Amino acid sequence: MAEVINMPRLSDTMEEGTLAKWFKKVGDTVKEGEILAEIETDKATMEFESFYDGVLLHIGIDEGSTAPVDSIIAIIGSKGEDISKIINNDTPVVKEEPTPVVKEEPTPVVKEEPTPVVKEEPTPVVKEEVKADSTISISNDRILISPLAKKLANEKGIDISAIKGSGDNGRIIKRDIDSFKPSNYSQFTQPRPHLKESSYETQNSTMRKAIAKRLADSKFSAPHYYLNIELEMDNIISFRKQFIQTQNIKISFNDIIAKAVSLSLAKHPKVNSRWYDDKIIYNEHVHLGVAVAVDDGLIVPVVKFSNSKDLPQINSEIKDFAERAKNKKLTPSEIEGSTFTISNLGMFGIESFTSIINQPNSAILSIGAIVQKPIVKNNEVVVGNTMKLTLACDHRTVDGATGSLFLKTLKEYIENPVSILI
């Protein structure tokens, strides 16, 4: 009996999916567990496995097309099985064709003649009469130039010996100064054939469109405000070095900060909250979203119950998520349910930045680079390591004092990292 495969709902916000790639074609044998296709959702591109054994009898959506959740994308059955009734009863699949270019009827356009280049006749110049006294200046080099032209040449820094005059007896006049071009002018102004204009375009992916929509919704619906702190990082640098040596696990600064953030959120559930139109939910557990850059944009895998996990566990999960995110191997459950998000651009040398809140979270933390610079310690100026953090808060749920207290707790954990292990 033929089995119908519908467009799956791969995330809680998914309404439609794009068939990014088929790994099988009609007539191929399919086994349960084999990868059938890649489906692009609003959050990620994921591999879709077959749940059935059989032959691929029908493909209901082409690569690059989009279909609503639950519409038929494929049918698997026995070779030669009649599936015409299933196909005919199927609600037509909505395919997202590239936006058709509406061919506009050439509206009676008044053909715009190229603006006639008005051949610039020498401006009716009042012919300068040569008077015996001083209308023409004659230099030691015998260059004939009118007083007005000489004045303009001085103002423009033009060497008059390089100008050929067009006046009487080769005299240099105003017109010659106005039209003068230095000998090297052409190399900067003339078109160079080896330099060509170049551009290209790509269709917006489902993920990119979803990111644009969600971030715009967040930015314009949540009243963002920002809190900034600068931390001393000398202790955490020493702590990380010792931890790697004793535990033989190469944890990153991001792992330590993730753990410190998780412990701080457990103490400040108002920051670890979610806004809804009719209520605010305060979470005592911490599901920490960690922003990861991928080719199509940004994906946020979630470390569940991160406040109860130790540094090696957090290190292992974040590393695994980052690798699988880039290979499109994350599952829907691994990218949903965050209560707070961190975004780190420190590895790119960015000292400080602000992020847009990943709703329905109430806040997001932006992590900058560790910078070595002069700092004051014990009333002395010494060289130290610092890092800037920026907390973006939704003012509907997190007041300024609430966000400040959270950052105060976080600062204590990071500047005294041994307290993370207690």
pLDDT per residue over 258-317, tens digit each? 999 999 999 999 999 998 889 999 998 999 999 998 877 788 999 999 999 999 999 999
Place of tokens 């089995």: 3
Task: Indicate whether 317 and 376 sit together in one domain.
Answer: yes
Q: What is the pLDDT of residues 129-179, one digit of tens each?
A: 434 333 444 444 568 888 888 888 887 778 888 888 888 778 898 888 888
CATH value at residue 177: 4.10.320.10
DSSP letter assigned to residue 411: H
Task: Indicate whether 325 and 288 sit together in one domain.
Answer: yes
Instruction: From 183, 217, 244, give the residue that closes a domain.
Output: 183
Residue 116: is the preceding peptide bond cis (ω within 30°)? no
Which residue segment(s) compose the domain that 78 sits in? 3-89
Task: Indicate whether 351 and 409 sit together in one domain.
Answer: yes
Task: Indicate whether 61 and 167 sit together in one domain.
Answer: no
Task: Indicate whether 242 and 153 sit together in one domain.
Answer: no
Quote the crossing angle between the two packed helices 253-267 and 311-326, to the nearest 10°. 110
Tokens of 27: 């007539």
Average pLDDT, the chain: 82
**Nearest CA to 203 among 63, 98, 67, 61?**
98
Number of domains making up the chain? 3
Decide if 110 is inside a domain: no
Task: Indicate whether 328 and 278 sit together in one domain.
Answer: yes
Tokens of 249: 């696990």
pTM of the model: 0.62
Kindly list the catalytic residues.
Answer: 395
CATH value at residue 280: 3.30.559.10
Distance between CA atoms of residues 19 and 39, nearest Å = 5
